[in-house]
Amino acid sequence: MTKSVSEFKRYAIYYAPEAGDLADFGASWLGWDLAAGAAVDHPVVEGLDVAALTDVPRKYGLHGTVKPPFRLADGMTVEALMEATQAFCATRAPVVLDELQLTSLGRFLALTVQGNAMALNDLAGATVAALDPFRAPLNAAELAKRRQSRLSERQEALLAQWGYPYVMEEFRFHLTMTGKVPKAQLENIRKRMEPLLTPILPRPFVIRDLCLVGEDQEGMFHLIHRYALSG
């Protein structure tokens, strides 16, 4: 990462694949390498406009959100956030899951966890709570944006408490692979992607660390540091 950690406008905690085939594919597929903080050429896939398919999720890089993006609260520093993230991760053990699979979520495709995800959900909820003192309250524009999604009563309560409606029991871990597409096209896209992904998806799928990431002024996310789950 070449940018100063203080240059970012928002921060988040992600799962991001370690260096290897999945990370390389994700960077190329989305067109953005989270770890390098750089654009990457898309693969050529017959019958697919990969650049158009990935336009919306590109800026985030290949990731699974654990604590959603937030602005730093007044009086909080990035250095303190880094120390707190490291201290938290030192209390948590790696999470071992069965596997990832390419599935459709509404109108987009994502890698989702197959099998029991209770340990992962517990880790995500604990991360949200432990680092919440660093999160600035949502402003009126941010609240309005979230409320465009027709939130349930519970999601509204989670938004008020944690700054995001899809945390705690509403959390669904996923690695977004496309933006929204017409439902009639989802199966065709999935069939073209699956041969590229299946050989490189980890079995078991192990989360060994969490990543602190930052959003630059252009809206692109960068890896700041990996923190081992060493508890």
pLDDT of residue 6: 66
Q: Which residues contact 126 (CB under 8 A, 6 or more apart)?
A: 88, 92
- Residue 21 Cα distances to 25, 27, 81, 202, angstroms: 6, 10, 30, 10
pLDDT of residue 7: 82
Are 127 and 13 in contact by the 8 Å Cβ rule? The answer is yes
Encode pLDDT of 32-47 as tens digits: 999 999 999 999 999 9
Q: What angle do CA 26, 105, 123 make, to 5 degrees?
A: 70
pLDDT of residue 221: 98
Residues of the chain short of pLDDT 70, as ranges, are 1-6
Report H helices in the chain: 21-30, 50-53, 78-89, 118-130, 140-146, 153-162, 183-197
pLDDT of residue 3: 61
pLDDT of residue 148: 84
What's the whole-model pTM score? Answer: 0.94
pLDDT of residue 127: 98
Return d(Cα 230, Cα 178) in angstroms, integer.
32
Are 61 and 34 in contact by the 8 Å Cβ rule? The answer is yes
Q: Which residues contact 61 (CB under 8 A, 6 or more apart)?
A: 16, 26, 27, 30, 32, 33, 34, 35, 213, 221, 223
Encode pLDDT of 77-99 as tens digits: 999 999 999 999 999 999 999 99
Are 227 and 209 in contact by the 8 Å Cβ rule? The answer is yes
